[in-house]
Amino acid sequence: MAGARAAIRYAKAVLSLASDQKAAEVVNNDMKLIATTMAKSKDLSDMLQSPVVKSSDKKAVLLEVFKGSNVMIANLIDTLITNKRLVLLSDVASSYNRLYDELKGTQVAKVTTAVPLTDDLRVKVLAKVKELTGKDVEVENIIDEDILGGFVLRVGDIQYNASIANKLNTLKREFTLN
């Protein structure tokens, strides 16, 4: 919990600095890259968590992996190393993305479907979510064949489950209670 709060503080500081320097969008793109890279690479995450690997080696690896990023990313890495908080890098990146979206008035709607969304369906989902929330929304499609059909929509704290698997589970519960 303390780590999450610290990550948010670092993200707010970077966002404030990036906004002052008119580089918030560029830094947001870099932070998205960091978050997705860290999520996909177990080796990179393990290296950051390892107490055996020297901080200087961790820094060298991160600067090489995220070469071409804004100078603020290198400064953030330096600050996290100095404060012995480098393990928070992924959380800081995710928090930054969330804060940036809030600043711009956009949200990410996660739509879980059994098959990829078509462009036509994506437009309909965008329209419905904008109607419900009143905000601009980006749609992130997650494919999960276990839901069988239908969809699960998550926007912020709101979840709407219209999946076939959910309907089958509801029927199952009704039959077992009666």
Whole-angstrom distance, CA of residue 69 vs CA of residue 144: 32
pLDDT at position 117: 84
Q: Using the 8-state DSSP alphabet, how is residue 33 labeled?
A: H
Confidence of residue 178 (pLDDT cuts 50, 70, 90): low
pLDDT at position 13: 93
Which residues make beta-bridge pairs with 158? 155
pLDDT at position 145: 85
pLDDT at position 112: 86
Answer yes or no: is pLDDT of 135 > 60: yes
**Mean pLDDT throughout 87-109?**
87
pTM assigned to the model: 0.69
**Mean pLDDT throughout 62-89?**
91
% of the chain with per-residue pLDDT over 70: 98
Q: Which CATH class is domain 2-102?
A: mainly alpha
Q: Residue holding tokens 């804004």?
A: 70
* CATH 1.10.520.20 domain residues, the chain: 2-102
pLDDT at position 2: 59
Question: Nearest 5°: CA angle at 58, between 89 and 15?
Answer: 30
Q: Is pLDDT larger for residue 105 or for residue 58?
A: 58
